[in-house]
């Protein structure tokens, strides 16, 4: 997988927001929860704080690697797969709309 930002524009942006939250960038909710966890770990034991900090840094590494490989990496998909990617969200949204319409019909 690679180069998917051209075919999955909205997914690319939403995934970026998710990555920023998981790596605990300050304006996102992940920052506040990770900050509380690190504070509690430091109060309990400085060694535990170091282990939690290393774990958090590894999370930053693998999430950024995942993001850049999938959306900015070398493109390795053929034309048939490109069509599937481009039409996937449209097909899913129509299925969802029809399912909601079906569910809203009165019981017969």
19-23, 28-32, 36-40, 79-83: range with lowest mean pLDDT: 79-83
pLDDT of residue 13 exceeding 70, the answer is yes
Cite the DSSP H helix spans in the chain.
9-22, 29-44, 46-72, 79-104
Output 12 or 105, whichever has higher pLDDT.
12
Range 96-102 average pLDDT: 75
Segment of 5-9, 32-36, 56-60 carrying the highest mean pLDDT: 56-60
Are the CB atoms for 88 and 4 separated by under 8 Å?
no
Q: How far is residue 65 CA from its own chain's centroid? A: 12
pLDDT of residue 105: 72
Contact partners, residue 8, CB within 8 Å, separation at least 6: 71, 85, 89
Contact partners, residue 66, CB within 8 Å, separation at least 6: 19
Confidence of residue 32 (pLDDT cuts 50, 70, 90): confident
Give me the phi and psi of 66, to 5 degrees please: -55, -45
pLDDT of residue 87: 67
Confidence of residue 55 (pLDDT cuts 50, 70, 90): very high
pTM for the model stands at 0.65
């Amino acid at each position: 997988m690679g180069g998917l930002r051209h075919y999955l524009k909205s997914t690319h942006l939403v995934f970026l927001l998710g990555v920023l939250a998981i790596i605990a960038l300050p304006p996102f909710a992940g920052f506040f929860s990770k900050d509380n966890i690190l504070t509690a770990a430091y109060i309990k034991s400085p060694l535990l704080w170091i282990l939690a900090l290393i774990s958090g840094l590894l999370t930053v590494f693998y999430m950024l690697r995942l993001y850049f490989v999938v959306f900015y990496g070398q493109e390795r998909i053929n034309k048939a797969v490109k069509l599937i990617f481009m039409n996937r969200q449209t097909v899913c949204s129509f299925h969802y709309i029809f399912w909601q319409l079906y569910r809203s019909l009165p019981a017969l």
